[in-house]
Amino acid sequence: MSTLRDRNVLDLTCVEGDRYVLIIIDDMQWDFGIRATHARMLQDKINDYIGYIRSGQAQEARPGLRPVIRLLAQYPYSRYCLDFLGRFKEWIESEGGFCDLEWTHDEKDGPFEDGFSDEYVFDDNKIYPRLKKNWSKKPLEEVSLLAVNEHDYGDMPMFRIWDSYIICLMQDSGSVYSYLTYDVLPQGIDVAALRDKAFENLSRDVSFRYEQSKNNKEIFGILCGGDFEAESLLFKGIWTELGEKFDDDLMVVVPTKDMVLFTKAGSRKHCNQLIDMGSEIFERNRKESPNLLFSRDVFMFSRKDEEFRIVPRKSL
């Protein structure tokens, strides 16, 4: 039997009086750490059903019956989930009410307890920055700093850096780091100030150090425990200190989010070795650990202006 995870297929259907019921089997939980992913998957599935209805296929299958999309869930809903479903239902009504959307729990059924509560608690002392590559074909058009009162449900605060990169914010919720979306932020919060607070938290809680590569004594790596290596690029002081120590500009590659490699920019031989090493790691992880992939870009840190720039590969 298909479920929420299966696209472009009806999980179950039935006829109830004058209604043609299209059922989505939802076998995922609404834990805080995965709820945003769950909502996106559910949105995609509902949109598949809407496409089936609006294309006329539902009418052809059951002429004259009212189409209904029903969510049949294995796990309890949270406030986050019900808010999401309520927004979807309002949108369908605004589009002329071409179908009904229903689920198996409503506020009238009782208080949100015993699994029906959303236990997320915002804590700005546990917010950290996350640096991500923007893989859009037109990054300058696709990524912008979103205004706090002008966003779609589920949108994340994003800050552009180096044109093709973005800084997101995430919270340590105990067992997982979860990306922050506008709907979980306190009313009227200054997201730019929250970004600055995230940097302060990371500086407070994480210590960065460097270590020599075992395979090449001229190549070094940044270490900090496995969660925030890539974010070292955001701390100018780290690289200023390293540039002074090595008395040179620095070439840097970040093939995975937990691996930052660098060497002195003055040696073309070592720079080429660094680039080859980074490319090999990136390609290997493309299949083995795609969740760790970060970027194929080559960064250059200039001691003179204490800034990073991305070096075009054709110029290397």
- pLDDT tens profile 146-170: 433 444 445 788 888 988 899 999 9
The answer on 227 and 132 residing in a single domain is: no
Q: Are residues 229 and 276 in the same domain?
A: yes
Q: Is residue 119 part of a domain?
A: no
Which CATH number does the domain housing residue 39 bear?
3.30.750
251 and 191 within one domain: no
Rounded CA-CA distance 94/96 in Å is 5
Confirm if 311 and 265 have CB atoms less than 8 A apart.
no
pLDDT of residue 150: 44
- HSE-CB of 246 using CA atoms within 13 angstroms: 23
For residue 123, CA distances in Å to 84, 120, 127, 171 come to: 22, 9, 7, 8
Looking at residue 119, its pLDDT comes to 56
**Is residue 273 domain-shared with residue 228, that is, in the same domain?**
yes
Q: What's the pLDDT tens digit per position in 180-224?
A: 888 778 888 899 999 999 999 999 999 999 999 988 899 999 999
173 part of a folded domain:
yes
Q: Which tens digit of pLDDT belongs to each residue from 249-303?
A: 999 999 999 999 999 999 999 999 999 999 999 999 887 887 788 999 999 999 9
Is 254 domain-assigned? yes
Asked whether residue 115 is assigned to any structural domain, the reply reads no
- Same domain? 225 vs 143: no
81 within domain boundaries: yes
Domain span at residue 57 reads 12-107
- Write the CB contacts of 217 (distance below 8 Å, at least 6 apart in sequence): none
Are 25 and 101 part of one and the same domain?
yes
pLDDT digit string, tens, across residues 81-138: 888 888 889 999 999 999 999 987 545 544 444 344 455 678 899 999 999 987 665 5
Select from 32, 20, 14 the least CA-distant residue to 67.
20
- Cα distance between residue 163 and residue 75, in whole Å: 41
Report the 10 Å Cβ neighbour count for 171: 24
Domain count, the chain: 3
Report pLDDT digits (tens) over 9-62: 999 999 999 999 999 999 888 877 678 788 889 999 999 999 999 999 999 999
Closest CA to 129 of 169, 157, 162, 163: 169
**45 within 8 A of 24, measured Cβ to Cβ:** yes
112: in domain: no
Residues 236 and 216 in one domain: yes
Please report, for residues 45, 52, 90, 101, the alpha-carbon distance to residue 95 in angstroms, rounded to integers and kept in the order given: 18, 16, 9, 13
Co-location of 296 and 311 in the same domain: yes
Q: Are residues 199 and 236 in the same domain?
A: no
This prediction's pTM: 0.62
Specify if 40 maps to a domain: yes
Last residue of a domain, one of 179, 205, 231: 205
Nearest residue to 224 via CA among 242, 239, 203: 203
Of 151, 170, 205, which one is at a domain's C-terminal end? 205
Give the end of a domain, one of 63, 78, 107.
107
**Same domain, yes or no: 245 and 200:** no
Cα 198–chain centre separation:
16
Q: Across 117-258, where does the E strand assignment appear?
A: 127-133, 159-161, 165-172, 177-179, 209-212, 220-223, 250-256
**5 lies in a domain?**
no
Is 186 in the same domain as 165?
A: yes
Both 247 and 299 in one domain: the answer is: yes
